[in-house]
Amino acid sequence: MTLFKRVAAATLLTVSLAGLAAAQQPEPKQQDEFVPVSQLPPQDQLPAAPLLVTAYAFVWVALFAYVASVARRLSRVQREVERLESEIKRGTRA
């Protein structure tokens, strides 16, 4: 369980730092008139891209940690079931 907590803490720290870095970007100057998206510079066409990538990375890391946790617990249960089956075959009790 400590590995899961460490992974979760590291993920939370990474997401927090990425959010802070994205929040500290300088404000662009105000525009007085409408400008179509096709005429904007590439960095302004999707200003939320770093946050989107960070969110997807967080979801993938959290999903991987969850699957690893379930797999670890499932293997533990499988070993316990095998141990109990062998004890039943031998006729002993746990």
Domain contains 39: no
Domain contains 12: yes
* Segment 26-48, tens digit of pLDDT: 666 676 788 787 777 776 666 67
pTM of the model: 0.48
Domain contains 36: no
- Burial profile 34-62: b = 16 or more Cβ within 10 angstroms, e = fewer: eeeeeeeeeeeeeeeeeeeebeeeeeebe
Domain contains 13: yes
pLDDT at 22: 62
pLDDT at 48: 76
Question: Average pLDDT, stretch 49-55?
Answer: 88
| Number of independent structural domains in the chain | 1
The domain containing residue 91 runs over which residues? 1-21+49-94
Domain contains 26: no
Domain contains 67: yes
Domain contains 35: no
Question: How high is the mean pLDDT of the chain?
Answer: 82
